[in-house]
Structure 1
Amino acid sequence: MLSQSTIAIIKSTVPVLEIHGVAITKRFYEMLFENHPELLHIFNHANQKQGKQQTALANAVYAAAANIDKLESILPVVKGIAHKHRSLGVKPEHYPIVGQHLLAAIKEVLGDAATDEIIQAWADAYGVIASVFIDVEKEMYVDAATQNGGWEGFRLFKVKRKVIESEVITSFYLVPEDGGPIATFEPGQYLSMKIDIPGEEHSHIRQYSLSSIPGLPFYRVSIKREDGMSDRPDGRVSVYLHKTIQPGDVLHISAPAGDFKLHQNDSRPVVLISGGVGLTPMVSMLRTLADTKTNRAVTFIHAAQHSGVHALKAEVEELVSQHPDYSAHWIYNKPSDEDRESKAFHKEGYIDLPWLREIVPVKDAKFYFCGPLPFMKTVNKALKDWEIPSEDIHFEFFGPAGALD
């Protein structure tokens, strides 16, 4: 337990963290990798270069400081990060290393303002926060390894099939090389895939949502090829998977993880909203709802640029056609002439609240959404403006957690 004086000191630093948080976390990662380059095998290099990881950590540190006297209130956030840590292979021995460099970064960035008293308070607070993470992750490691078909660390999986779903998305069907059973998962969860690209010094680990249903003898992940743009390079891993990996090749996979899950005990209607490759966990949820034969009405909404990049469309339409209480709605912001002629989509433009009101039968429902960050911000604002209760809004970030409000 932290003393009241320590809690008071930590809370007093909240305004400073709001201003200097990203500078602190940027310097933290620089120092961490300089002194422990082996950790580059765990962290996503692209997120580091784009500043996403620094911002995500700054937000997490800020939240921890603001809630240091009631850490239980941020337990959902802790669990989300812990799922990612377990899937990556973060272990208890990593926490002292992180703590040492985080404190050093605080001291360096804040200079004389970071007094010995403040640094000691943060050292005490970090010890408590680290213990929370270690305890939560310990339980997750045990669950992942001891469940039927589970395993510890990374397991070898063979690519059984490779199916092109659109111009940019390809599905990979994965089966265990050892022929044994595989762990089940919750619709919405992801796999971590460790890739060693020839000629590159460090391994890459990426998370990909499962787009199949639980209980099958294989996993399916549907991966978007991240082509480079003016402000960012090609996605090293996604391009490698699309261009190089073929059926018969072997990949290193960690057991399913993630706290974005379909609430199957709720009997109310379900609204699934996706943008781009964000449809992958939604398809898993849709297929699960159909497979379990629940009587819940489902509205599936997907936004894409045009039909050429719209993956798994036929699969969703077939499922919807088999259930009278299901509906699917497509919105394209750059439809082709062929799209317009064939009426391959239902609306041109972007998702907004008037359209949601028009196509969603009832607002007393569970809402799930996933996609690019600007898309998620738009959907989140629309649902908030519609006064959907926060407990009925569920979303998944691809990459480090960001802020939607």
Structure 2
Amino acid sequence: MPVTLTDIRAAQRRIADGVIVSPCPESIPLSEITGARIVCKLDNFQRTGSFKERGARNALKLLSPTARQRGVVAASAGNHALGLAYHGRLLGIPVTVVMPDYAPLIKVTTCQRLGARVLIRGVDFAEARAAADDLVVQEGLTYIHGFDAPAIIAGQGTIGLEILRQVPDVEAILCPVGGGGLIAGLATAVKSLRPRVKIVGVESVSTRNLSAALKAGKPTLQPRQHTLADGLATLTVGAEAFALARDRVDEVVQVKEEWIALAILRMIELEKTVVEGAGAVPLAAMMAGLLPKLRGRKVALVVGGGNIDPAVLSRVIEIGLVHDGRLTRFAAVISDRPGGLAELSRVIASAGASIKDIAHDRAFSGPDVSAVRAVCTVETRDRAHITTLHRALRKHGFSLEISR
């Protein structure tokens, strides 16, 4: 039987003792940069950092006594595993999770710390799932699907009930889409109560699971590609999730990777909160101008998770700064005699920019031994400031090679 509003309401009661009602505040700065009236549903504030706890706890509490004793297993890129591990420990249910090799390290270590048995198997979700299925046969474990089981979908749908209660005048909800369980549950809840609220799915250009399924009329496998939104990289949308979402989702858009990086940076700077790539795609879509009809409307962004590897986060911040025009790199040919570097530094400073890093490249500077390439990484205000800086350098006779 397909998931209904009754199922979602029952799930809300069932998980209330273990899952918080996450905040959904209005964001003045995000409203200013997008042109819409933005509220953020901050499910990255859940104990394990994502909305996945909702479905995980609901599914675990529906297990039979025998299944509880034997334990459960799941294949997951991370957040579903974390949710199962945490709530399995709270409920006394053994949990095994099988992760593909691209799972972020922070999710692996956190899952282990929460008491789950973690196995790294396969290069993608399909191979991890096959390994988990083997454990179902070998050990009698119950498999809990991360996005395509009715109990999971109903649990995720509780986020829609909360948004409607917290933001009664919401006009559109932007939801990340990977396997489709979140948007299927959310759309079922919202459209049952407020059918005029627009539901928009947001994917990375590197995933496209739901849009491919809509085009084909059924779930289809997508080739794995690298994406900052690793939580969306499930290779396909679930069959049950697709059946629910296909007639309830009003629009699906795909956002480029550089906009995801910039959205992560904006959430840190403007909202003082860390989000992972999958949690940033709704903001990225608004910032990229993919939804011009939502300008001036009350829009809820589902911030689904905040579990990003710190090493990746530092790189993402720099990528975002580059995309934002606040970090640039160029090589300038200068005199390799006293005063050459000082003159370059003087012009950069006079243009109001700040040197972050500078390196001399003598071996590949050409036949003129009196000249050297100075490779500079420079902080700037924006893209217009970069143009001003380049103009000033050329005016003073420097030959530039611009890194793109």
TM-score, with length taken from structure 1: 0.29
TM-score, with length taken from structure 2: 0.29
Bigger Rg over Cα: 2
